Amino acid sequence: MLKLNPNITVIEEEGAFAVLDRALALKAKGAPVINLGIGQPDFSPPRHILEAAEKAVRDGPHGYTTPIGILPLREAVAAHIAGRFKVPVSADEVVIVPGGKVTFYFACLLFGGPGAEILYPDPGFPPYREAIRSGGAKGVPYPIREEKDFGFDADEVLSLITPQTRLIMINSPANPTGGVVDAKEIEKLAQGLAKHPNVAILSDEIYSHLVFAGAKFTSFLSFPELRDRTIILDGWSKTFAMTGWRLGFGIWPKALVDHVRKLITVDHSCVNVAAQMAGLAAMTGPMDEIEGFRKSFEKRRGIVVDGLNALKGVSCRMPGGAFYAFPNVKGTGRNSRDLARELLNEAHVALIPGESFGDNGAGYLRLSYAASEAELKEALARMKSFLG
Ligand SMILES: Cc1ncc(COP(=O)(O)O)c(C=O)c1O
């Protein structure tokens, strides 16, 4: 009898990938499925990024790089972030990893172990909980509230901190809700965390370029007093439409970088070097196309939120960022899991049931509006005729 590590066998698969599989299976049978389940931009990365990758594949370099990423790339990331948020960032705080996920996974390994508690948002990005479990810590969910425009109440979050708490994970703009946490609430949380010197902070800012009119993004880098225990997660996936390239970065407290470097040498040695060269072109190149992506998402947000609010039994807040809407479907009289299944099987619209993102997600659906305006309008029309 094989004896497996219970920290690993307990892991659940991310719901978005299960929905993607079902949607693809239906599509293969000829059903006209519109997939608003998976969260990835439907654009192609800007041309100068692709050209840099082509050149790297042709001319090299071809060998391993330093585990934490080539110096020019780390310097470019440091300059980019320092310029955006007007804070000092140095290349030796930047760690390049294969995708945004790896930064929080490594943080969960570093701060995990028996007895450790890690706070995470509910509803929130599902792999947070699984990363916490696989690192051997206990996950403690904190509520994300619709009435707070899908933000949190800082006092409520702080009240969950115990002597066992080692890490708190924060995500704004957020998956699955699109919520951008109010600056006052972030400041209140930061002030409270200043009184808990043993708690590290992981701020997942992967959607920080996708913030729309009416919302204001606050980076956790804005709190110098917390900087020696703050980890910032970001990457190329959502900003540059490069989800398949597997390229992300973390900004780590200097004292932790050596641990991360060792983890990288155990896990993947370094990131694919051609992807690093493409990432460098992205960080140093023009950003006008990226602003164009943001504007298209903002336009689609309007179409989707208006369309959802016109459906019977559905209400939807205006999300401040990312490319997700999180409509409340409690008024339809159906539970969200059944509704998502019926919408896929009968209306051929793939959405993710809110409970995939935590207990507090029940009664909601996640709709990714990273799809063409025509597809979004068609999906809304089908939902309307399905719901009557
Ligand atoms: C909140 C959040 N963090 C991190 C990631 C992971 O990004 P990547 O695909 O670069 O690993 C995602 C992807 O969906 C996300 O929604």
Q: What is the pLDDT of residues 67-117, one digit of tens each?
A: 999 999 999 999 999 999 999 999 999 999 999 999 999 999 999 999 999
- Is the same domain home to 25 and 71? no
- Is the same domain home to 121 and 133? yes
Q: How many helices (H) and strands (E) does the chain have?
A: 13, 12
- Is the same domain home to 367 and 324? yes
Cα–Cα distance measured from residue 302 to residue 377, given in angstroms and rounded to the nearest whole number = 11
- Is the same domain home to 241 and 162? yes
Closest CA to 265 of 126, 97, 146, 153: 97
Cα–Cα distance measured from residue 375 to residue 190, given in angstroms and rounded to the nearest whole number = 41
- Is the same domain home to 307 and 224? no
Q: How many of the other CB atoms lie within 10 Å of CB of 222?
A: 16
Cα–Cα distance measured from residue 53 to residue 74, given in angstroms and rounded to the nearest whole number = 17
In short, whether 101's Cβ falls inside 6 Å of ligand 1 is yes
Cα–Cα distance measured from residue 180 to residue 151, given in angstroms and rounded to the nearest whole number = 6
* Residue 1 pLDDT greater than 80, yes or no: yes
* Residue 15 pLDDT greater than 80, yes or no: no
Can you give the pLDDT at residue 259? 98
Mean pLDDT of 193-209: 98
Mean pLDDT of 19-32: 91
| Domain containing residue 121 | 48-284
Average pLDDT in the chain: 96
Domain CATH for 338: 3.90.1150.10
Distance 310 CA to ligand 1 centre (A): 30
* Residue 16 pLDDT greater than 90, yes or no: no
Domain-ending residue, one of 248, 263, 284: 284
- Is the same domain home to 276 and 294? no
CB–CB of 294/210 below 8 Å? yes
In short, whether 99's Cβ falls inside 6 Å of ligand 1 is yes
More confident residue, 18 or 350: 350
Atom of ligand 1 nearest to the CA of 171: 1
Cα–Cα distance measured from residue 339 to residue 332, given in angstroms and rounded to the nearest whole number = 9
- Is the same domain home to 220 and 75? yes
Distance 101 CA to ligand 1 centre (A): 6
The answer to the question of residue 271 being in a domain is yes
Q: Where are the alpha helices (DSSP H) in 112-199?
A: 127-134, 154-158, 183-193
Can you give the pLDDT at residue 18? 82
pLDDT tens, residue by residue, 292-324: 999 999 999 999 999 999 999 999 999 999 999
- Is the same domain home to 58 and 168? yes
In short, whether 125's Cβ falls inside 6 Å of ligand 1 is yes
- Is the same domain home to 280 and 294? no
Domain-ending residue, one of 241, 261, 284: 284
Total number of domains in the chain: 2
Pocket test for ligand 1, best of 234, 238, 239 (most atoms within 8 A of CB): 238
Structure tokens at 173: 């703009």
- Is the same domain home to 58 and 163? yes
- Cross-strand pairs, 169: 202
Q: Percent of the chain beyond pLDDT 70? A: 100
Distance 235 CA to ligand 1 centre (A): 8
291: exposed, middle or buried (Cβ count in 10 Å: 0-12, 13-18, 19+): exposed
Pocket test for ligand 1, best of 206, 240, 323 (most atoms within 8 A of CB): 206
Distance 333 CA to ligand 1 centre (A): 32
